[in-house]
């Protein structure tokens, strides 16, 4: 079966896996727009993700996230970085429109926390004394969902440049119609 032409790239994976940095880079190379679910949520809510979690709670955040995701997934020629929890619910990846290339950026819990320490305070789910145990627990619970992505890319020991180059290589191989500058 011929795959649908490529309209968008969707990056999923745990916090600190590099979705935003890699997404920016791929979008620049494809000449496409980049959009980050968390940024769009913050713009819509007029407050930060941490503030939304603190004042309205996680269920409210998840409902907003799902609404924003639907809107962004309807766009074309866009590279999307989802929030780490978005893909981890039944039906999320099955529901993405045809023409979406999905990539799971893999990262271990310790590496996620190491990277996240630069962004302390912005990740409410890991703002706790037992953050490492929580990250291990969340990754284990989410892996079956993340696995549904079309490709998995290990980011553990790779730079943003290398991960992006690997993804662009896959895209060029699978979708010869696209052009990366
Ligand atoms: C979350 C990940 C965050 C953000 C929120 C919840 C999660 O996004 O959406 O803090 O549940 O893993 P990043 O993965 O972009 O940090």
Over residues 160-174, the pLDDT tens digits come to 999 999 999 999 999
Centre of ligand 1 to C-alpha 84, Å, is: 4
- Could you tell which of 84, 88, 115 is best to mutate to test the pocket of ligand 1, judged by most ligand atoms within 8 Å of the CB? 84
Centre of ligand 1 to C-alpha 37, Å, is: 9
The pLDDT, as a whole number, for residue 181 is: 72
- Identify the DSSP state of 80: E
The pLDDT, as a whole number, for residue 108 is: 98
Over residues 36-89, the pLDDT tens digits come to 999 999 999 999 999 999 999 999 999 999 999 999 999 999 999 999 999 999
Measuring from each residue's beta carbon to the nearest atom of ligand 1, which residues come in under 6 Å? 15, 19, 38, 49, 83-85, 123-125
**Residues whose CB falls within 8 Å of the CB of residue 79, separated by 6 or more in sequence, listed in order:** 8, 9, 11, 23, 24, 26, 27, 30, 32, 33, 34, 35
Q: Which of 38, 73, 40, 68 has its CA nearest to residue 53? A: 38
Centre of ligand 1 to C-alpha 2, Å, is: 34
Other C-beta atoms lying within 10 Å of the C-beta of residue 169:
11
What does pTM read for this prediction?
Answer: 0.96
- Could you tell which of 20, 40, 49 is best to mutate to test the pocket of ligand 1, judged by most ligand atoms within 8 Å of the CB? 49
Over residues 79-132, the pLDDT tens digits come to 999 999 999 999 999 999 999 999 999 999 999 999 987 666 778 899 899 999
- What is the C-alpha separation between 164 and 160, in angstroms, rounded? 6
The pLDDT, as a whole number, for residue 3 is: 66
**Core vs surface per residue 66-85: b (16+ CB within 10 A) or e:** eebbeebbeeeebbbbbbbb
CB 103, CB 169: distance < 8 Å: no
The pLDDT, as a whole number, for residue 117 is: 74
The pLDDT, as a whole number, for residue 2 is: 61
For residue 13, pLDDT beyond 60: yes
Question: What angle separates helix 37-45 from helix 58-72, to the nearest 10 degrees?
Answer: 110
Identify the residue whose C-alpha is closest to ligand 1 atom 2.
Answer: 84
């Amino acid at each position: 079966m011929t795959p649908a032409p490529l309209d968008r790239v969707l990056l999923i994976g745990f916090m600190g896996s590099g979705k935003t940095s890699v997404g920016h880079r791929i979008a620049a190379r494809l000449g496409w727009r980049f959009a980050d679910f968390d940024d769009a949520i913050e713009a819509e809510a007029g407050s930060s993700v941490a503030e939304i979690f603190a004042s309205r709670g996680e269920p409210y955040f998840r409902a907003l996230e799902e609404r924003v995701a639907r809107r962004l997934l309807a766009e074309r020629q866009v590279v999307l970085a989802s929030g780490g929890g978005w893909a981890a619910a039944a039906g999320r990846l099955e529901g993405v429109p045809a023409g979406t290339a999905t990539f799971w950026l893999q990262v271990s819990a310790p590496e996620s926390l190491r990277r996240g320490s630069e962004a302390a305070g912005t990740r409410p789910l890991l703002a706790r004394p037992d953050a490492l145990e929580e990250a291990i627990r969340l990754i284990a619970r989410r892996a079956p969902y993340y696995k549904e992505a079309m490709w998995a890319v290990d980011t553990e020991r790779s730079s943003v440049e290398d991960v992006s180059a690997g993804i662009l290589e896959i895209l060029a191989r699978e979708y010869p119609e696209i052009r990366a500058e």
